[in-house]
């Protein structure tokens, strides 16, 4: 199993540009989560999907952030326009929902730097 | 709001010693999980303990849970340099699909 795959691994962009982060969950997993990690705030849950449907997006910081899951094997997190305070490591994680406490499987993250 | 809060924030020990990390949380839970993160990588699941369990073992890992105090501890016995990583607890807020993580304990094991 290839695990959760995220791309790109690193992204450097200028303030005001659009940024798109991509995630391929583990095949067969039906829940997908986007987290953001910074030194100051730790790991923050941005949004999660069950069966491709967004369930809770209360962690999305602003309207500049949007996420989609067009099918079971692909999700995107878009920031438009980007700002320096968006600099962080963004993680995608997936799991098989329905089991009590099924573990999250994380990708290796996208390190975003907005200058 | 942050549910899990680990302490200490950082811990430095010698190889062969035991390492203990603590986690406190605020609301009721169905289960609590511990994860490990190596530098530059994603988190990896270590162990899960259910709310009706008090202690659980997995290899050199021992986890305890005290629901009356809303706290958990992770013990790594006979530590190795390869255990150097950050360790996070995560709670489900009473059965929610959402897992909320603490800020982690950074463990350094010196050879």
Q: How does A24-51 read in b/e, with b if 16+ C-beta sit within 10 Å?
A: bbbeebebbbbbbbeeeebbbbbbbbee
The CA-atom distances, in angstroms, between B107 and each of A43, A86, B10, B11, B12 are: 17, 27, 6, 5, 6
Tens of pLDDT along A24-46?
A: 999 999 999 999 999 989 999 99
Q: What angle do CA A86, A53, B96 make, to 5 degrees?
A: 80
Percent of chain B with pLDDT over 90: 76
Measure CB to CB from residue A50 to each of B97, B101, B102 and give the nearest one: B97
The percent of residues in chain A predicted with pLDDT above 70, rounded, is 97
For residue B97, the model assigns a pLDDT of: 80
Q: What is the pLDDT of residues A56-104, one digit of tens each?
A: 999 998 899 999 999 999 999 999 999 999 999 999 999 998 666 789 9
Residue among A93, A100, A108 whose CB faces B30 most closely: A100
CB-based burial label for A16 (10 Å; 0-12, 13-18, 19+)? exposed
Determine the Cα–Cα distance for residues B3 and A103; give it in Å rounded to an integer.
17
Cβ-proximal residues to A12 (8 Å cutoff; 6+ apart), any chain: A113, A115
A2 sits in which H/E element: none
Interface of B with A in 28-87 (CB under 8 A): 30-31, 33, 35, 40-45, 48, 50
Let me know if B99 is exposed, middle or buried by CB neighbors in 10 A (0-12, 13-18, 19+).
buried
């Amino acid at each position: 199993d290839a695990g959760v795959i995220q791309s790109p691994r690193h992204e450097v962009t200028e303030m005001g540009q659009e940024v798109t982060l991509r995630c391929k969950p583990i095949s067969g997993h039906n829940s997908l989560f986007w987290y953001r990690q910074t030194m100051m705030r730790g790991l923050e849950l941005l949004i999660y999907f069950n069966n491709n449907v967004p369930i809770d997006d209360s962690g999305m910081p602003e309207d500049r952030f949007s996420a989609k899951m067009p099918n079971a094997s692909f999700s995107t997190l878009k920031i438009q326009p980007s700002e320096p305070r968006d600099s962080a490591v963004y993680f995608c994680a997936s799991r098989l929902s329905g089991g009590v406490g099924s573990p999250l499987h994380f990708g290796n993250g996208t390190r975003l730097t907005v200058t | 709001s942050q549910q899990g809060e680990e302490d200490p924030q950082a811990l430095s020990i010698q190889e062969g010693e035991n390492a203990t990390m603590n986690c406190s949380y605020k609301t009721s839970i169905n289960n609590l999980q511990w994860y490990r993160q190596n530098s530059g990588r994603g988190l990896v699941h270590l162990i899960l303990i259910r709310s009706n369990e008090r202690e659980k073992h997995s290899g050199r890992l021992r986890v305890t849970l005290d629901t009356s105090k809303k706290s958990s501890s992770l013990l790594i016995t006979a530590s190795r340099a390869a255990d150097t990583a950050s360790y996070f607890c995560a709670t489900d807020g009473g059965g929610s699909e959402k897992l909320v993580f603490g800020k982690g304990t950074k463990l350094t094991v010196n050879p």
